[in-house]
Amino acid sequence: MGRKAGLNPEAAPEDGAPGAAERPTPERAPAERAASRGEDARRPPAGAEIAADGLRLPAPLARAAELALDRKARDVLVLDLREVSNATDYFLILSGSSDTHVKGVSEHILEELRREGVRANHVEGLRSGRWVLLDYIDFVVHVFHPDARAFYQLETLWGDAPRERLTA
């Protein structure tokens, strides 16, 4: 009995074969994400990266961090997941001081980025205000209530990822 194409990560299915369009390989993932947005993956658009002390951030991510800091978010941290995960390239993790503050920071990021043509693919937790997740595909913004952040400890979970603390 033969193996099904696409089940063996070492096997590369031929074009048109079952499994050929399945999950992209890690090397192809960023290019495929760029292509799905109609961008040229070989070169970043003008202003696509902004340097934060030691880390170069894509412009929408840097803008999200700036918007969070504008609304007095606390403990703003960027995790670079490009070498440790295929799920997304970056996490932007930050805290609000209360449920209302968490919602306000999250809504500000959503509204301002939307106004600038950057739309979230998925949003979770906005009603409760304990942990709001804004998924922009290439980066995910996590806005936490301090108690929820201490409980889930994403920074520890992704401890092997390069990180950068951002301040106003």
What global pTM score does this model have? 0.69
* Domains of the chain with bracketed CATH: 9-41 (no CATH), 56-166 (3.30.460.10)
Among 152, 54, 64, CA closest to 114:
64
pLDDT per residue over 131-143, tens digit each? 999 999 999 999 9
* pLDDT > 70? residue 112: yes
